Structure 1
Amino acid sequence: MIDLSQLPAPRIVEVLDYETIRQRMLEKLEQLLPGWTAADLEADPAVKILEVAAWRELLLRQRVNEAAKAVMLAFAAGSDLDQLAAWPGVKRLPGAAATFPCSVALTAALSSPVTVPAGWAVRDASGGYEARLMENLSIRAGQTAAPGTMEVVRPLGAAANGLNAGQWLPVQPLPFVGRVEQTGEASGGSDEESDAALRARAQLAPESWSTAGPAESYRYWATSADARIADAAVSSPSPGDVRIVVLSAEDGGAADDAMLERVRQAVNDEKRRPLTDHVSVVGAAIVGYDVEAHLEIPAGVSAAPVIAEATRRLEACAAAARRIGGVAARSALIAAAHAPGVRRVTLVSPPSDVAASNLEAPLARGVSVTYEAVE
């Protein structure tokens, strides 16, 4: 996939400068009025009028720049990006639904098993919250309850995190099913998909049109399953077997059960998965490391802004390496720590490059920067 950030800047987007526009207007006025000599007098009425005109031209040409960028995938944002992504059939993902563990109980033990279907909906006593069962739940013969997982569909996303309604009521009652009890707080809800994630999926979307099961097609459907997914990698360890590794964008990087289940459902759809493929979905193993850098800063230079910039750059470098199979290279971290004002960098940690396999992802646990003033 083409890295859009590495493409040359589009020629249609101009570099604008107010002073240049103003000067050209003054020169044109001097041509039209040979006897006018007040170009250097800022208080002259003609100069003031041209300054207003130059400012208005600057705004207009900047608007042209913004309109041109709004139709380019690399630069479009917000609703402009939504419109561009719609062309290959990609829609911004809503926030991932929060999930919570529950216990589904029968009114009495039965002599045969009872199956509660996936999608069965429940709501709290106030009617303000609604959830649905993620997977089929089977209560064995002779038992009165079984554990399951519900996902909150109202409200959707991060707003449901922390919810604990206790008892839930069926929207459509089922025979013999008596009650649903929440056994833990709801978690895992997220905000809607970011521009960066939507842009990457829109670029990847044409791969999904293939019916032969290429890796990038599986990757598109995997990343479309949950707005919290930061990366997905696809491999085939043996003929007919497909393995999808998922990395979460949330703190810690570990994919939870709800995320993995959504990916399984997305990639195993009969219209997406070739009949002969057997697909497994696993979470990426996290390779944690600490970033610790010691800076030498010349005496007399204010250390606080230098340290802040070095820390920001180190965090950005670590974030760029946070992907499946990524490498947190010492050389890249040292280069990142060389912010303006730094004379020398000693990278204390990691002691060597952190190289992840195709089942792993490197994750910086924290960034620490110390310094000493040197002559």
Structure 2
Amino acid sequence: MEYVDLPEILFTPEDAAEIQQNVITIYEGLTGRTLQPADPVRLFLSSLATIIVQQRVLINQTAKGNLLRFASGVALDHMGAFQGSERLNASAAITTLQFTLSIPLSSATGIPPGTRVGAQGGDGSIYFATTEYMEIPAGATTGTVIAACSTSGPAGNGFSPGQINVLMDQLPFVQTATNLTASSGGAAAEMDASFKDRIRTAPESYSTAGPRGAYEFWAKSTSAAILDVHAYSPDEGKVTIVPLMVGGQIPGQDVLAAVAEKLEDRGIRPLTDKVTVTAPTPASYDTTLTYYIGRSRAAEVPAIQSAVTTAVAGYQLWQRSKLGRDINPSELISRVMAAGALRVVPIAPVYTALDATQVAQDKPSTITYGGLVDD
């Protein structure tokens, strides 16, 4: 949902020169005397006008803070509470752990909640703890359970299957523990921008008739790590939810399962809806270009080269930060030229239209500096 294109709002004038002149004019009218530029009274009134200007600015900031578009921080939290929305706290990365026994046993083996398994090479500073009690049935040797990172935020993301394998809490007959899925879902506390988007879509959640906006609102409410969501109905009575993670990351199975569990609530999902949560389809693209710098800016070449590298990275992040965002080389050219390039010769990517279930995913870039050219 986009903001309506409204004009800038100002609740009270805050032009410093106008306020100062009004103060002096009123004084001159009341006293019947004209104040010269160096008159001590004029200087005194000017200092008062400065305080009035500051107060006017604060009045505008405070009043605008009562509007969702301009609200931030604690004021935004109170605005969300009015609609029943709370800012999402930092979330911990999750993964699926498999515990393996040394031998089959004649009785069930319990794995208590909070059992810790460390990341390989993490020196015990990053570990994952089981979130619930799990039993390995009698005669079996393996069992799986969800575990959450001890540190909330993105620090626990990105551990590949097998990298979390240091059993920190020794249990009888448990020989090994290892993650079967890549860890994902960790995110910092929800930022103002994403919280505003959820507040604006909160009215959609009041209905349990299954509108698209309600499904998208509740899916985003699962975790601060979820950046974008698309909900659609491929068939009667069926709903498909496609979430996208912060940074344009494809969600893993554990995150998909968490979203599905959130939407299973009978106060959210209509009884007749069969809900499926699936990852977006990646649309890979190459980034290959050559850029040139004007000869008049020869002294700035190192700085421009650095800025171009940053611009390309920014373009790739922008490209993968929204579901269905078409792969658009024009945006790349614009950013590279804004970074200081005089001319850009792009080879890839080429314009590619995406649907709402797809997300652009960049491959390694080939960025070539072509040298100085005449302006």
Same fold (TM over 0.5): yes
Q: Which amino acid aligns with 2:50?
A: W
Equivalent position to 1:228, from 220, 225, 229: 225
TM-fit CA distance, 1:220: 0.9
Alignment match, 1:207: 204
Q: SS at the partner of 1:200?
A: helix
The Cα of 1:269 is off from its aligned counterpart by: 1.7
Cα deviation, 1:3-61, whole Å, max 9, x if unaligned, reads 12x4213433456333343344344444445543522x3xx433432332122112111
How many correspondences in the alignment?
356
Partners in 2 of 1:310 and 1:279 — Cα distance? 44
TM value normalised by structure 2: 0.78
Cα distance in 1 for residues equivalent to 2:175 and 2:184: 18
Structure-to-structure mapping, 1:165-184, within 5 angstroms: 166-168=167-169, 182-183=177-178
- My pick for the range that moved more, 77-86 or 362-371, is 362-371
In the alignment, is the contact (CA less than 8 A) between 1:122 and 1:168 conserved in 2? no
Q: Write the letter of the residue equivalent to 1:354.
A: T
Query: Residue 89 of structure 1 aligns to which amino acid in structure 2?
Result: G
| Structure 2 residue 86 is matched with structure 1 residue 88 | no
Give yes or no for contact 1:310–1:337 (8 Å, CA) kept in 2. Answer: yes
State the 1:157 CA deviation.
3.6
Note if 1:198 corresponds to 2:195. Answer: yes
Determine the C-alpha separation between the residues in 1 that align with 2:243 and 2:315: 21
Structure 2 counterpart of 1:263, from 252, 259, 262: 259
Task: Please tell me whether residue 237 in structure 1 is matched to residue 229 in structure 2.
Answer: no
Deviation sequence 1:194-222 (CA, Å, 0-9, x none): 11111111111111111111211111111
Distance 2:176 2:53 in 1: 62
Give the conservation status (yes or no) of the 8 Å contact 2:327–2:350: no
| CA distance in structure 2 between the partners assigned to 1:23 and 1:373 by the alignment | 53
In 2, the alpha carbon distance for the partners of 1:9 and 1:80 equals 22
Change beyond 3 A, Cα 1:55–1:362: same
Deviation at 1:273, TM superposition (A): 1.3
Any unmatched runs of 5+ in structure 2? 118-123
Query: What residue is the counterpart of 1:329 in the other structure?
Result: 328
Q: Which of 61, 65, 72 lines up with 1:66 in the alignment?
A: 61
Where does residue 249 of structure 2 map in the other structure? 253
Q: State the alpha-carbon separation in 1 of the partners of residues 201 and 257 from structure 2.
A: 22
Gaps of 5+ in 1: 171-176
Deviation string, structure 1 residues 232-287 (Cα, Å, up to 9, x no partner): 1112222222111111113x611122211110101122221122221111111222
SS at match of 2:323: coil
Alignment map for 1:84-233 (pairs within 5 Å): 84-104=79-99, 109-110=104-105, 121-123=113-115, 131-133=129-131, 139-152=136-149, 155-158=151-154, 166-168=167-169, 182-183=177-178, 188-233=185-230
Match of residue 47, structure 2, among 48, 52, 58: 52
Counterpart contact for 2:327–2:349, Cα < 8 Å:
no
Secondary structure class of the residue paired with 1:212: coil
Q: Does 1:358 align with 2:356?
A: yes
Structure 1 distance, partners of 2:153, 2:360, is 27
